[in-house]
Every structure is written in C-alpha cells, then in structure tokens.
A and B are shown apart, each in its own frame.
Chain A
Amino acid sequence: EAGVAQSPRYKIIEKRQSVAFWCNPISGHATLYWYQQILGQGPKLLIQFQNNGVVDDSQLPKDRFSAERLKGVDSTLKIQPAKLEDSAVYLCASSSSTSGSAPRGGEQYFGPGTRLTVT
C-alpha cells in the first residue's frame, strides 16, 4: 500500500512570498490533516478534512493560510504572504476514521513533510 505523498520536500522562500504544498493521502482514507511542526515541538493541527469538507480549522491563520481538498482526495495548503515564523515542517496525514457518531481510534499515517524556510 502506498503511503502519504507530499511535495515538495524542501522549500526556501523570502518573507511576503507565497508557497503551496501538495498532499496525496493513502487511497480510501476519508480524513486528511495538515500539521505544522516547529523544531522541538509536536505537530500542531492546522486543518482537518473529512472527505472534501472541513471538520476543524480553528488553528489555521486564515488571514494568510488556506487549504482545499477538491474531490475529497488530494489537498493543497497555501501560505500567502509568508512570515519568518512560518518556518517549520508541514506534515500531511490521513486516516480512515469515519464521520459517524462513534469515531474510531483515528491512528494517522503521515507523509515525509515539507521543510519550509522563510528568509
């Protein structure tokens, strides 16, 4: 079974520029997550999709970050304009948890991440 794919693996941009990341989840996984992981910290959820609908985007800085998951499969995360504090690894994950009234354990499968450096 193929894992979660992400691209690019590395990106260096200047502040105020824009950047986009792409994620292709494991086939059949309905739930897709984008996380931001700053060095020395745990992953912080930015946005969670169930199929192509947003379940949780409470920690997404909506003035500069946007994400979409068209057709309920792959997803893009965009930052515009970038700030120095956006330097981090952006992780995509997927899980097969359902949207029913009894969510399952929700074990997540992560991609390799995109390391973003904003200068």
Chain B
Amino acid sequence: SQKIEQNSEALNIQEGKTATLTCNYTNYSPAYLQWYRQDPGRGPVFLLLIRENEKEKRKERLKVTFDTTLKQSLFHITASQPADSATYLCALRGGFKTIFGAGTRLFVKA
C-alpha cells in the first residue's frame, strides 16, 4: 500500500540555522509533491508544490527538492525564525488523489 514517512520526532534548531525536513514515500508515483504548514488548532496552509519533472523549487526562504529515484523530498527553511515553529506536512498527488504524511514538528529556538 502507499506509504508516506516523515520524521516523527520533533526537530529542534537554533534561530538563524537551516531546518531540513524529510519526506519519503513508497508504492506511489506522484505527479506532484506539496508541502503544507499547520499551526495548532488551525487547518494546513499550502506552501509549495513541485512537479515530478522538477528537481528543485524555491520561494523566499523555502526550498524543496524532489528525487523520484530515491522517492524522497527535502524541505529546507533557511535563516529560520521562531515564527517558523509549526508542523510541516508533505502530501503526494497523483491523478486526482492526494495523500498526506503525518507531519514533522519544528521548533526554532531564539
């Protein structure tokens, strides 16, 4: 069955450093990979989308890579800030179907 794995352990980093979150998947060939941010008590917010034929995508301090051979995406936040503290979800989209990972909690300490 299709499976998405994100680090279940929280990631703690110091302000100003680069945070790197990992999303691995199996038994799936997504056309798109999406990253969302979710704050406590709120719905997920769309951040970035990368297509299967793209290697890298950037938006401001965010960078996403997509390796369809390794079946892995990396999500980077450069110059991290305490306001970046949240849960980050990756989602795979193939056809009309989207499946979400469980997310990784990020804590950025001042």
- Shortest C-beta distance, A4 to chain B (Å), equals 8
The proximity string for B residues 82-110 relative to A, scoring 1 for CB distances below 8 Å and 0 otherwise, is 00000001010101111111110000000
How many residues does chain B have at the interface if contact means C-beta atoms less than 8 Å apart?
24
Cross-chain contact A110 with B102 (CB below 8 angstroms): no
Checking B4, B32, B89 against A106 with a beta-carbon cut-off of 8 angstroms, the contacting residue is B32
Chain A residue at minimum C-beta to C-beta distance from B42: A112
Known: A42-B89, A45-B99, A56-B96. A107 touches B46 (CB 8 A): yes
Known: A48-B96, A106-B93, A107-B34. A42 touches B43 (CB 8 A): no
Checking A50, A99, A113 against B42 with a beta-carbon cut-off of 8 angstroms, the contacting residue is A113
Cross-chain contact B101 with A105 (CB below 8 angstroms): no
How many residues does chain A have at the interface if contact means C-beta atoms less than 8 Å apart?
28
- Shortest C-beta distance, B39 to chain A (Å), equals 10
- Interface presence of B49 (CB below 8 A): yes
- Shortest C-beta distance, B59 to chain A (Å), equals 12
- Interface presence of B76 (CB below 8 A): no
Cross-chain contact A42 with B46 (CB below 8 angstroms): no
Cross-chain contact B43 with A93 (CB below 8 angstroms): yes
> Which residues from A are CB-within-8-Å of B41?
112, 115
The proximity string for B residues 38-71 relative to A, scoring 1 for CB distances below 8 Å and 0 otherwise, is 0001111110010100000000000000000000
Chain A residue at minimum C-beta to C-beta distance from B47: A107
> Which residues from A are CB-within-8-Å of B45?
110
Cross-chain contact B49 with A110 (CB below 8 angstroms): no
> Which residues from A are CB-within-8-Å of B44?
43, 91, 108, 110
CA–CA, A108 to B32, complex, Å? 13
CA–CA, A2 to B50, complex, Å? 26
> Which residues from A are CB-within-8-Å of B34?
105-108
- Interface presence of A109 (CB below 8 A): yes
CA–CA, A91 to B98, complex, Å? 14
CA–CA, A35 to B89, complex, Å? 14
Known: A110-B43, A112-B42. A55 touches B93 (CB 8 A): no
